[in-house]
Amino acid sequence: MSLQILLFIGSQEIIIIAIIILLLFGGRKIPELMRGLGSGIKEFKQASKDDDEGAKKINSETKE
């Protein structure tokens, strides 16, 4: 359901959301928030990659 909502967000809505975020957090906090978001995504990808490697290792051990 949330994916369907995201499909209906247009450019005007994105601009309005960006303005609201700018007003709430201010110009100085946004780069800090983006760095935190980026590091969180990086950690998530690394954990996902480690999980996939662990699953492959377990899978190869059970086949032997």
**DSSP states along the chain:** -HHHHHHT--HHHHHHHHHHHHHHH-TTHHHHHHHHHHHHHHHHHHHHHHHHHHHHHHHHHHH-
pLDDT at residue 22 in the model: 85
pLDDT band at 3 (very low <50, low <70, confident <90, very high): low
- Quick: pLDDT tens for 8-64: 778 888 889 888 888 888 888 888 888 998 999 999 988 888 887 777 777 677 766
